[in-house]
Chain A
Amino acid sequence: MVSSVDRDVHGDGDRLDRDPDDGDRLEELYVRFAPGGIRLAYLMTGDRGVAEDLVQEAFVRFVGRLHSLRDPNAFEAYLRRTVINLSKNHYRRRAVERADLERQASFPPQIHEERDVSEYEAMRRALLELPARQRAAIVLRYYEDLPEAQMAEVLRCRPATVRSLISRGLAALRQSPEVIR
C-alpha cells in the first residue's frame, strides 16, 4: 500500500517507484552487469569513484525503459554504449575545467600526481592520455573483444573509422617511452 505521503514524494511518474517489480529487476541487472560496466568505465577514466558514478548514471537512465527490456543481452550492449558515451562526456567536462583553471592559475598546485617510472604505470598513463575515442576503441577491441561491426555501433562510426582509431591509438602509445614496442 502506498500512502499519500509516499505518492507525494515519489509520485512523479517514475515507473521504478510505481512498480516494485521494477526495483527488484533493476537490482538484479545491477548485480549482474555493474561489475563489468565499472571495469569498463575504470579503463576509460582510471578512477574507480568516477567509474562507479558513471555506471550508476547509466542504470538510472534506463529506469524508465525497464518494461521494454526483453533480452538481458540487449542491456549489456546498452550499458557498454552508455558507459563509453558518459566517459567521453566526463573527459570533455574535465578538459573544460582544466582549461579554465589554467587561465586562472597563478601558482603551481600544492600536490601533483605521482610519476612512477615503471612500465606498467607509463602504459597506464599513456592510455589515459589518449583522446577519448581512441582510448574507447583500444578498450573495446582489446578488453571487450568486440568485433569491428559492434565497435562501430558503440562508437557511432564506420568500421574503417574504428580501424583508424585503433591504429592511431596504438601509434600514440608506441610514442611513449617504455610503452609498446
Chain B
Amino acid sequence: MTDDTKMREFLQQMADEIDVTSVDPRRPAERAHRHRAVAKALVFVVAAAAIVTAGAVGLGSVTTSGSKPAGHPSQSLKTLNAAVYGWGGPGGYSVQVPPGWNLDVNGHAVSKEASPTLAVSVWNVKRVPQNPCQWKQTLRDPGPTVGDLVGAIERTQLRTATAPTDVVLDGFSGKYVEWSVPDWPVSGNADFKGCDDPGNGHQDFVTWLSNLQGEAYARVARQVDMLWILDVRGHRLVVDATYGPNDSSADREQLTGIVQSLRFWEYG
C-alpha cells in the first residue's frame, strides 16, 4: 500500500470518528449574539472602570464613603469552566473554587496547587479494567448506564468500593461511591510496582479510560476517588474527586464544596 493510499484511508477514518450528520443551524446566529453581548459588556466594564478611575483621582463624582469591605469570603471564589474527558461534543461544566485551585493545561481537571492528589474531573467513561494493575488485558466496556458502571466498579479487583447510595448533583440523579486504592509500593511519578506500562515508561494503576483520549490513574497508594456517577440528560458522566491519605479533612471539605458547586452546561 502506498503512502498516498494509506494517508487517505487514515484521514478518512479519523474524520469518520465524529458524527456530523446533523448540525444545529442556529449555532452561528446564537454565537454572533453572544459576541455582541460580550462586546457590550466590555464597553460597560471599560466605561465603569473609567468612572471609578476618575473618581479615585478626584475627577468624577463617585463617592468612596460607601465602598464595600474587602475580603468577603464569597468574593475569594472564582469560577472555572472545564471540559469533560472523553466528551466529543460541545458541553462542559463549571465549578467554584477557592484560591490555590486551578484548571489543568488541557482544560479538563481542576486541581489544587502543589498537591499530587487533590483534583476534580468529569469523565465519559468508556473502559474500566477488571484489574487496575494488569489493566492492559482486562479493560472492558461496562455498558452505558449508571448501574452498569457501578456494577463494574464493585467487581473491580484490588480496589474497595463503598455501597452505592442515591445522590443528586446539579439536579441530576445517580449513585455515589467511594473507591479506594490499596496500600501498594509506589515510586517516582505514580509508578505502582509491577503494573502495566502505558508506553511511556511508567507503571500505572488505572482507574479507567475515557471514551476518547484520557486515562485516569491513581497517584498514590490509599488514594480515594469520591465518585458521583450521574445520568446527565441521558449521558452517563462521572464526577471524580480524589484525595490521598495525607490530605486533611479541610482539603476534603474543599473538594466536596467544589463538587457541590458543579454545574453542567450544554448537555442534552
Contact = CB atoms under 8 A, between A and B. Distances in A.
Interface string A22-59: 01001110110011001100110011110111001101
Contacts of A120: 10, 13
A120 B10 CA distance: 8
B18 A51 contact: yes
Interface in B170-202: 189-190, 198-200
A69 interface: no
A106 interface: yes
Contacts of B21: 35
Interface stretch (A83-91, A136-144, A149-157): A136-144
Contact of A143 (B11, B91, B92, B215): B11
Contacts of A110: 104, 109, 111, 116-117, 119, 121, 219, 242
Interface residues of A, number: 53
Interface stretch (B1-9, B62-70, B142-150, B158-166): B1-9
A56 B104 contact: no
Main secondary structure, interface of A, reads: helix
Interface in B78-114: 83, 85, 87-92, 104-106, 108-109, 111, 114
B31 A115 contact: no
Given A170-B3, A180-B6, A124 B32 contact: no
5 contacts: A49-B87, A110-B117, A111-B119, A111-B121, A143-B15
Interface of B: 3-4, 6-8, 10-15, 17-18, 20-21, 23, 25-29, 31-33, 35-36, 39, 83, 85, 87-92, 104-106, 108-109, 111, 114-117, 119, 121, 189-190, 198-200, 209-210, 213-217, 219, 242
Given A110-B111, A113-B106, A143-B11, 9 more contacts: A10-B36, A43-B11, A43-B15, A46-B213, A108-B116, A109-B109, A112-B217, A120-B10, A180-B7
